Amino acid sequence: MVEKIFSVVLAAAVVCGGVKTIQGQTKGSVVVAGVIRDRHSAEPLGEVAVVLSSKTGRSAMRVVTADDGRFRFDNPAPDEYTIFATKTDYEPGGYGQRFSGEEGGWFKVEANSPAGLFSSLVIQLTKFGSISGTLRVNGVAPALSSTIKALRKTWENGREVYKVTQTAVPNLQGAFRLPRLVPGQYLVAASVVGRQTVFSPGQFQQQAASVIELGEGADIEAIGIDVPGKVPGARVSGVVSGGRSGTAVQLVALSAAEPAAQIEFMTTNLDRNLAFAFDPVPPGRYFVRAVQYDGQSQSSVLQDAQWAVAQINVEDSDLIGLELRMAPGFEVKGRVTLKSQKTEGSNPAPRRISVGVVPVAPTDMNAKMSVVGIGDTGEFITPRLLPGTYAVGALIAANSWFVQSVSVDGKDVTGGSFQLTSDQDHVEITVTDQPSSLGGIVRDSDGKATNNAAVLIFPRDSNRWNFRYVFEARPNLFAQIRPDSGGTYSIRILPPGDYLAIAVDGEVTPNWQNENIIKKLAPLASPVSLSVGMNATANLTLKSLSIK
């Protein structure tokens, strides 16, 4: 994560926006003050718990706002700080957040700060919304146990997906309410014991469900979910050779709109005879898959994996007698090489380096991350992993060393991924102590420096736009940062390569790395190239865009 650090210049002043001048400050004293507002109405909010917290953890102060929404902290010790605000029925917010879901930032209080105050802060909070409605099974309130789920639209690895963010249990009359929902697009689904998941208003397939637009603080009512009494479909059954009793078997639907996208549909477990059954299954195309790990614990990422998968097409007739056979996973082998650009001996090698191999695509079979250490020669080997799409990187126990490049079979996959379909013996990771960096000044159309902007960085190569998975070990080719109070931005760690940079003043969705959005940004962005250890400059002119 690129942190946003702002130096607090503390000078005695009259605060704009109706804040009164705070008198009586002594030299070196510090005041941090501001107001909490509703993001939608801009009205001040009372009864907000506001915490000023230092990065070192040595200092924390807490106040509760009155009806005018104002807060104030006197004389915080020199440190880097952030502000966190919480209120009942609102999404938590903090310093530096311009919209719901954006990461907050830090500001710096220095020991030699002059007398004065820093009190023009405005922190906005987003009010939660809710969705309520009624569940009916064969026209009446459900007699069986059921769960209602709210699935919010997001983007994962460049793909549109819906993820469960809230659940509720309907009452005896079938009424339900899903509270504490942030703004966005939602699907509502019902899971009833003994039946398939049904999406509102009464669809078995997710792509046919009704999408609900939920605004800030909105309460949407009268959402109906009707589960038919007789569910159409066929029985799908079979055995898994080499499996174990209790191993999970999943039936995963393939989306007709996007064949590469998968939706988990049903889950069961192998019985004592290693048999499984799904009934009823609506017509459509599916994967049947089973995964197990050596040893007793299936949660460990360091155990060898076994897998079995079959693609099926379900029509009106039962599909019985399927036979799946467990196969071993695949090993990933390679080497980590250190390349120092400094005088020999001036920068010791890292105490410890671990290699992370992480599944990144939604089509993977619930694959798990593997983290392994390296030997004295820099070589590493993973346990047997499931087939799929993976990213590779290094976890380095030293602040002065960074991943420079990653290659698989001689192909550069830095910040990207590779397909694991067989044992992979040629992974090369280069670690350097000379990271590349990018910085500059953001100016508005009048040429004045401004911090009312978000700077977005992404690869120039469009082939890398459809992949956005980020984890600590992997070098990231995408970055977002806010300029400081002087309009200056700086991103210290970027792998060498060709990038595009743009500064926008509108709202930026957390999902801006969606390929369709980047296609609109690219023609307006400035190109910049980075070599190893290069400190590049890209001064940017603000673009009036809202990235949603």
pTM over 0.85: no
Contact between 86 and 49 under an 8 Å Cβ cutoff? The reply is: yes
Identify each DSSP E strand in 106-201 by its residue range: 106-109, 118-127, 129-137, 146-156, 159-168, 175-181, 184-192, 198-199
Shared domain for 319 and 267, answered yes or no, is: yes
Q: Comparing 280 with 151, which gets the higher pLDDT?
A: 151
Considering the domain architecture, whether residues 123 and 134 belong to the same structural domain is answered as: no
* Better-predicted residue by pLDDT, 303 or 525: 525
Nearest alpha carbon to residue 65 among 35, 95, 32? 35
E strand intervals along 435-487 = 436-443, 454-459, 479-481
DSSP state of 543: B
* Nearest CA-CA partner of 170 in 130, 141, 209: 141
pLDDT higher than threshold 70 for residue 274: yes
pLDDT classification of 13: cutoffs 50, 70, 90: very low
Q: Tell me the mean pLDDT in the region 515-540.
A: 90
In tens, the pLDDT along 412-471 reads 888 778 999 999 999 999 988 888 889 999 999 999 999 888 899 998 988 777 654 444
Confidence class of residue 496 from pLDDT cuts 50, 70 and 90? confident
Spell out the residues 6+ positions from residue 216 whose beta carbon is closer than 8 angstroms to its own.
39, 40, 100, 126, 127, 129, 183
Provide the domain count of the chain. 5
Lowest mean pLDDT segment, chosen from 75-84, 284-293, 503-512: 503-512
375 Cβ contact list (under 8 Å, min separation 6): none
Same structural domain, 428 and 469: no
Last residue of a domain, one of 328, 358, 389: 328
Q: Residue 188's pLDDT band (boundaries 50, 70, 90)?
A: very high
Inside any domain, residue 546: no
Shared domain for 141 and 219, answered yes or no, is: yes
Residue pLDDT, tens place only, 212-227: 999 999 999 989 998 8
Rounded average pLDDT over 19-25: 30
Give pLDDT, residue 409: 95
Phi and psi at residue 87, in whole multiples of 5°? Answer: -150, 145
Quick check: is 547 in a domain?
Answer: no
- Say if residue 49 is exposed, middle or buried (CB neighbours under 10 Å; 0-12, 13-18, 19+): middle
Compute the distance between CA of residue 428 and CA of residue 446 in angstroms, rounded to an integer. 48
110 vs 522: which has the higher pLDDT: 522
**Last residue within a domain, chosen from 295, 328, 361:** 328
- Which has more pLDDT, 256 or 26? 256
- Do 10 and 121 reside in the same domain of the chain? yes
Cβ contacts of 334 within 8 Å, gap of 6 or more: 355, 379, 380, 392, 424, 425, 426, 427, 428, 429
Read off the pLDDT of residues 394-410 as tens digits, 9 standing for 90 and up: 888 766 788 888 999 99
CATH number of the structural domain spanning residue 287: 2.60.40.10
Query: What is the Cα–Cα distance from 490 to 492, expressed in whole angstroms?
Result: 6
Which residues form the domain of 95?
Answer: 5-127
- In angstroms, the CA 451 to CA 444 distance is 9
Asked if 456 and 507 count as a contact pair (C-beta separation under 8 A), the reply is: no
366 and 443 in a single domain? The answer is: no
Specify the pLDDT at position 158: 52
Q: Write b or e for each residue in 431-443: b if 16 or more Cβ atoms lie within 10 A of its Cβ, otherwise e.
A: bbbbbbebbbbbb
Q: Is residue 115 part of a domain?
A: yes
Burial of 261 (0-12, 13-18, 19+ CB in 10 A): middle
Is the distance from CB of 183 to CB of 176 less than 8 angstroms?
no
- Asked if the structure places residue 548 within a domain, the reply is no
Please check whether residues 416 and 459 belong to one and the same domain: no
Which band of pLDDT confidence, cut at 50, 70 and 90, is reported for residue 205?
A: confident
In whole angstroms, what is the distance from residue 162 CA to residue 158 CA?
13
Say if residue 113 is in the same domain as residue 210.
no
In a domain, 462, yes or no: yes
366-404 core/surface letters (b: 16 or more CB in 10 A; e: else): bbbbbebebeeebebebbbbbbbbbbbbbbbeeeebbbb
Whether residue 166 sits in one domain with residue 94: no
Measure the CA angle with vertex 420, ends 415 and 426; round to 5°: 75
Nearest Cα residue to 59 out of 47, 77, 73 = 77
Return d(Cα 329, Cα 311) in angstroms, integer. 19
Are 324 and 338 contained in the same domain? no
Residues 203 and 177 in one domain: yes
Is 246 contained in some domain?
A: yes
CATH number of the domain within which 164 lies: 2.60.40.1120
Q: How many percent of the chain have pLDDT more than 90?
A: 40
537 located within any domain: yes
Q: Amino acid identity of 170?
A: P
- Distance between start and end Cα atoms, the chain: 21
Give me the pLDDT at residue 273, please. 96
Q: Is 504 helix (H, G, I), strand (E, B) or coil?
A: strand
Residue that finishes a domain, picked among 227, 259, 291: 227
pLDDT of residue 481: 87
Confidence at 259, pLDDT banded by 50, 70, 90: very low
- Domain check: are 112 and 172 in the same one? no
48 within a domain of the structure (yes/no): yes
